[in-house]
Chains A and B, each alone.
Chain A
Amino acid sequence: MSQPGVGILINFNLGINLSEDFASRGVPASKPPPWNDPFIRSMFFQVIAVLLLGYCFYSIFDNTLTNMEKRGITTGFSFLSEEAGFGILMSLIEYDETYSYGRTFFVGLLNTAVVAACGIILATSIGFIIGIARLSNNWLIAKLATIYIEIFRNIPLLLQIIFWQIAVLQTLPGPRQSLRIGDAFFLNNRGVFLPDPKFGKEFIFVISAFLISLISAYIFKIWAKRTQEKTGRQYPVVYVSLGLIIGLPTIIFFLVGMPLTWEYAKLERFSFSGGANIIPEFISLLWALTMYTAAFIAEIVRSGILAVDHGQTEAARSLGLRNSLTLRLVVIPQALRVIIPPLTSQYLNLTKNSSLATAIGYPDLVSVFMGTTLNQTGQAVEIVAMTMAVYLTFSLVISMFMNWYNKRVSLVER
């Protein structure tokens, strides 16, 4: 977290120095020599400071590795190309035990990314609904939302994860007694089994059609908005867009001969094979992360909405806006400014909390890479450093995205 701090510091100094610089330009005759120029001088010291800090970190790392080598512990990153030799329960990319340790890194990374991404989307949706529900005029709905928030926010996440895992495993039947919908969908204590789509070559046309309709829908939306601003005529933007986005690809799909087949899961001696399998560990982890984080998000949403002055709602009403429109067009856009900064930190928490996955055997980055790979190779320093770099990167990317979004929605003073 020191990076943004340093950034702010530098920016701050630059700001001041630049303005001084600017001020001094007003008196052109007395331009100081470079070593007396405050801007250059402060730049110089900052660069030195950064270099020193970098050298410090480098020498700690290097020293550690050298000393470990002296103790007979292998160091370096060459292990990444060695064969891993162990299996991983779930992988979004092709993987088996003949792949390298480097590959296990990406398998774990993607497994972490996918729960984090799904968790953020789900927790945000549920959190918004619950947060608004808590402000509802309906006594029952408001109380239920309060109870939800108080329960899920106050039980340690680890317990919740283990609870859901046990609940999932205990309540679901074994593979032979699966709950099923026809011959396509199965649910048992090995997870959910779905038909796996196999795309033909011609499917590329369908994808292109989809992209084209997406772009046209966007253009239509802009056009409709302009026309409305000019003439006041409203167009049914939502229906037209939906029609475009769903209709066009569907027509193309049938025209090119339905290039899509489904591979169904089949029951074998022990369990199902083939098809697509969502493992129970993923379900319980995702569910626990979602329920837990949604409780916090609900509170953030509630406080955000309450922060919008009541006069805004009254003004919207007196303009004749319906309740839902008031919420959507007046209250939420203003509430977002209050909501987004704390929401960002919930997203960061969710991502980092996903590393509790090892408690139930979900193969995330910490379990696969910092667990098994570390233990098989013994290269703790390298592996822990790589793992920390991944979480840091995830966090910084989320922060950057949310900061960008925050700037976009923040108040434009006119």
Chain B
Amino acid sequence: MKYKSLGILTAIAAVATFSVASAGTLENVKKKDLLTCGVSTGLPGFSDPDKNKKWTGLDADYCKAVAAAVLGDANKVKFVPLTAKERFTALQSGEIDILSRNTTWTQTRDTSLGLNFAGVTYYDGQGFMVSKKLGVKSAKELSGAAVCIQAGTTTELNLADYFRFNNMKYKSVVYDTSDQTIKGFEAGRCDMLTSDQSQLYALMTKLKDPASAMVLPEIISKEPLGPVVRQGDDVWFNINKWTLNALINAEEMGITSQNINEKKSSKDPSVMRFVGKSKNLGKKISLDNSWAVNIIAQVGNYGEIFERNVGKNTPLKIARGLNALWNKGGIMYAPPMR
């Protein structure tokens, strides 16, 4: 541990001392011909290595989309698994280019940590999971319970707020990784597990007997999850913002990985801008004009990514809900590309 802390310290000191301005992430990525992307240590549906050790999930796909836009190849991504505690230091010190790891956008993180959130890839909220045999129906009955929770998350803070406000007592058992958290819950060290609700469904799939647990109806917080980059590098920030916007706009315009080739000859002005036939939108974010085509052809639009990783036909079975497009009953909304 001592070596590790020394490592962190020297890493920060070195980076902070020798490269004052953090600009130039785009050049670095192009030079290495590789995008380095921070993800979780394993969270089904969001970022999780599959049988062939390939990273899959919504958060992993976002990084692939950026690689497709910047390098023209969605496979040129190196994934770095990070615990909740490690993630911001890894980004600040330049170890990764993007942090795409179910990270909640909060004011402190956006400001005093020197980071920028590129948008929201998933609107979430914190929920509770309990064992069915406790017979609990509502979070309000949980006074006196022991809670398994992950270190360094907004979850830790929301939990304290909620129990304090409702005059309830709790004991928090804090773990480093989601794996340890779910094991602690399974071993009966705690009565409930709390996390962002989407992650509860993901973690439930890791239980030996998923049917033995249930998610309580209460949502106690707002958790807008999104990709994060370092503050002070506007070129890179713009690329990330508009990669996400392109994913969402493509779904809204009906552009998918299936029909992208036909769309290239479309006469619809907005589609023509999207595929780079007019307006040079790619050049405006220092990329090739085929950037958006590359994203959709190789990764798909937001709706495709959602359904593939967390949607109805996956073990997570999450409905679009808030994450549906704004004109379909949700709040996913991207500024226009023009």
Q: Residue B214 at the A interface, CB < 8 A?
A: no
Check if B312 is an interface residue, CB within 8 A of chain A: no
Total A-B residue pairs with C-beta atoms closer than 8 Å? 164
A87 touches B9 (CB 8 A): no
Is B151 in contact with A375, judged by CB distance below 8 angstroms?
Answer: yes
B92's nearest neighbour on chain A, judged by CB, is A73
CA A85 – CA B157 in complex, angstroms? 6
Q: Does B293 sit at the interface, judged by CB under 8 A?
A: no
Task: Verify if B219 is at the interface (C-beta below 8 Å from A).
Answer: no
Q: Is B16 an interface residue when CB atoms closer than 8 A count as contact?
A: yes
Question: Residue B152 contacts which of A71, A73, A74, A371 (CB distance < 8 angstroms)?
Answer: A371
For B7-27 the 0/1 string (1 means CB < 8 A from A) is 011001100110011100000
Evaluate whether A87 and B232 lie within 8 angstroms (CB atoms) in the complex, with A64-B17, A270-B145, A372-B152 already known.
no
Query: Any chain B CB within 8 A of the CB of A374?
Result: yes
Pairwise interchain contact B144-A273, C-beta atoms closer than 8 A: yes
Residues of B within 8 A of A98 (CB): 164
Contact with B along A173-217 (1 / 0, CB 8 A): 010000000000000011000000000000000000000000000
Contact (Cβ within 8 A) B9 A391: no
Contacts of A281 in B (CB 8 A): 173
**Chain A 332-376: CB-based contact to B (< 8 A → 1; otherwise 0):** 000000000000000000001001101111010011001110111
Decide yes or no whether B278 CB sits under 8 A from chain A. no
A-contact bits for B220-245, CB 8 A (1 contact / 0 none): 00000000001110000000000000
Most buried by B among A169, A270, A356: A270
Complex contact B16–A68 (CB within 8 A): yes
Once the chains bind, are B173 and A89 in contact (CB under 8 Å)?
yes
- Name B231's contact: one of A72, A355, A372, A388 (CB within 8 Å): A72
- When the two chains form the complex, which single residue of B84, B142, B145, B191 contacts A375, counting CB atoms closer than 8 Å? B84
How close is B55's CB to chain A, nearest CB, in angstroms? 23
Instruction: Say yes or no for B338: interface residue by CB 8 A criterion.
Output: no
Q: Provided the pairs A97-B164, A371-B85 are in contact, do residues A73 and B5 lie with their beta carbons within 8 angstroms? A: no
B17 pairs with A355, CB closer than 8 A? no
CB distance from A383 to the nearest CB of B (A): 9
CA A189 – CA B16 in complex, angstroms?
46
Closest to A173 in B: B188
B interface list, Cβ under 8 A from A:
1-2, 5-6, 8-9, 12-13, 16-17, 20-22, 84-85, 88-89, 92, 108-109, 111-114, 134, 141-146, 151-153, 156-157, 159-161, 163-164, 169-176, 180, 184, 187-189, 191, 230-232
Given known contacts A64-B16, A73-B112, what 8 new A-B pairs fall within 8 Å (CB)?
Answer: A64-B12, A71-B230, A72-B114, A74-B114, A87-B163, A269-B143, A271-B191, A355-B2
